[in-house]
Amino acid sequence: MTSELFSPLPLRSGGVLPNRIAKAAMEENMAGDGQLPDERFLTLYRRWAAGGTGLLITGNVMVHAEALTGPAGVVLDARAPLEPFAAWARAAKSGGGAVWMQLNHPGRQVGSDMPGVVWGPSDVPVDLGRHSGRFGRPTPMTAERIEATVARFAVTAARAEEAGFDGVQIHAAHGYLLSQFLSPLSNRRTDRWGGPLENRARMLLDTVRAVRAVVSPSFAVSVKLNSADFQRGGFDAEDARRVIGMLAPLGVDLVELSGGNYESPAMAGRPADARTRAREAYFLDLAEELVATSPLPLMLTGGITRRATAEEALRGGVAVVGMGTALAVTPDLPLRWQRGGEADRPLRPVTWSDKTLASAAGMAQVRHQLRRLARGGSPRPGTHPARALVCEGLRQQRALRRYRAWLPTTEETGRAA
């Protein structure tokens, strides 16, 4: 009998995912010249495509050339050449699965050493204690900038479809711009984008409408949403339930549930919780609560590494199981599951007490594995987190020099619009 894990999933827009396993977005942060995907991306995604995953979601693609999560971020705007993205889509679909492009804007989560702009719903900076200086102080967005940013999401989505992607995922989690608007901690506006949840959700809903209006009816549109921010007074599970209800009539195919942000990096795991269930599926309890009332299919991501855990999530009502780190270490994990196997050994744990540095080191470890795969090599999960963090820092310095040289100028801000 075929496991539900390997059964197809029809989407509302008409597409079909060949199975219920997705590679969740992991920011590659290794763009080539011109902030474009290059041959390394093709090698990496062919590897995943051959591993049996039904859906590949790219690392975040930035909709605004002047606002990047990191200096080696990929940018797809009105000016970008399309062929590198078409090649990326072909590579990702080479195994018969689907590929969706994740669209993102960092808002206030922009490094203080980055050129360009740091925007947010309000002038509330990222609070990382003694590490707060790593991020710039945000400038509150004007109505014109909000509307222009919504339009940028739509432009990128339309160009993604033109390049051959099967869908897009709008990133409204992990403390990035759309998530910042949703949170009452970072959104202190008193206009039509602030105050009650209906107002705080306005930018996300307008973005979904704008994207759906410019793509084909058969093109998938999904949203990544925090099940909770895990911050007192922040966006919580009840807010998530209400936002999912708001998204339902807008032509959304799937909502991916995650959690946390840079201030509370729950997406990096909850090691303090000794329960296997919490270690392996960080947000499963919240997801099961949301499934009960959700009018949309839900995807759960966060720490899943074993087939048994994935199947438990499906039994709980989740439609798709997303994995990130597990596929960075074992890119053929779905095929292994089909054959009765399991993942290779996990990444070396980061046990540092400084949660900000620990989160950064964890992300550096994952990117180290992605780069090894992108060169055609094998993962090395035993790499020490300190070594990965230092190497990542050096790469980012080189990438920052390239990004500064590439970023064109405009009259409005002195940098790209």
Q: What is the mean predicted confidence (pLDDT) over 177-197?
A: 96
pTM of the model: 0.92
pLDDT: which is higher, 215 or 258: 215
Q: What is the mean predicted confidence (pLDDT) over 289-296?
A: 92
Q: Are 55 and 22 in contact (CB under 8 A)?
A: yes
Q: What is the mean predicted confidence (pLDDT) over 228-236?
A: 70
Q: Give the confidence band of 226 by pLDDT, cuts at 50, 70, 90.
A: confident
The residue among 301, 228, 298, 286 whose CA lies nearest residue 259 is 228
Average pLDDT, the chain: 90
Q: What is the mean predicted confidence (pLDDT) over 43-63?
A: 98
Q: What is the mean predicted confidence (pLDDT) over 111-117?
A: 94
Sign of CA dihedral 77, 80, 86, 89: negative
Rg (CA), the chain: 20
Q: What is the mean predicted confidence (pLDDT) over 197-220?
A: 98
Q: Does residue 128 have a pLDDT over 60?
A: yes
- Residue 139's pLDDT is 97
- Residue 225's pLDDT is 94
- Residue 272's pLDDT is 36
Contacts of 378 (CB under 8 A, 6+ apart): 372
pLDDT tens for residues 384-409?
999 999 999 999 999 999 999 999 75
| Tally of CA atoms within 13 A in the half-sphere of 235 that contains its CB | 31
- Residue 263's pLDDT is 53
Q: Does residue 1 have a pLDDT over 50?
A: no
pLDDT tens for residues 322-365?
999 999 999 999 999 999 999 888 889 898 998 888 888 999 99
- Residue 229's pLDDT is 59
SS3 218: coil
pLDDT: which is higher, 3 or 152: 152
How far apart are the C-alpha atoms of 314 and 326, rounded to whole Å?
18
Alpha helices in 139-259 (DSSP H): 143-163, 177-182, 197-200, 202-214, 237-247
Q: What is the mean predicted confidence (pLDDT) over 182-200?
A: 97
Dihedral class, residue 59 (left if φ above 0, else alpha if ψ from -120 to 50, else beta): beta
pLDDT: which is higher, 232 or 160: 160
Distance (Å) of CA 302 to CA 234, 260, 290: 20, 11, 16
Q: Are 132 and 200 in contact (CB under 8 A)?
A: no
Q: What is the mean predicted confidence (pLDDT) over 16-41?
A: 97
Q: What is the mean predicted confidence (pLDDT) over 253-277?
A: 58
CATH code at 4-347: 3.20.20.70
Q: Give the confidence band of 134 by pLDDT, cuts at 50, 70, 90.
A: confident
CA 37 to centroid of chain Cα atoms: 17
Residue spans of the domains in the chain: they are 4-347
Distance (Å) of CA 44 to CA 62, 89, 138: 19, 12, 34
- Residue 275's pLDDT is 40
- Residue 228's pLDDT is 66
Among 58-62, 117-121, 271-275, 300-304, where is mean pLDDT lowest? 271-275
Q: Are 321 and 22 in contact (CB under 8 A)?
A: yes
pLDDT tens for residues 365-382?
999 999 999 999 999 999
The residue among 172, 71, 185, 181 whose CA lies nearest residue 126 is 185
**Helix, strand, coil distribution of the chain in percent, nearest 5:** 40, 15, 45
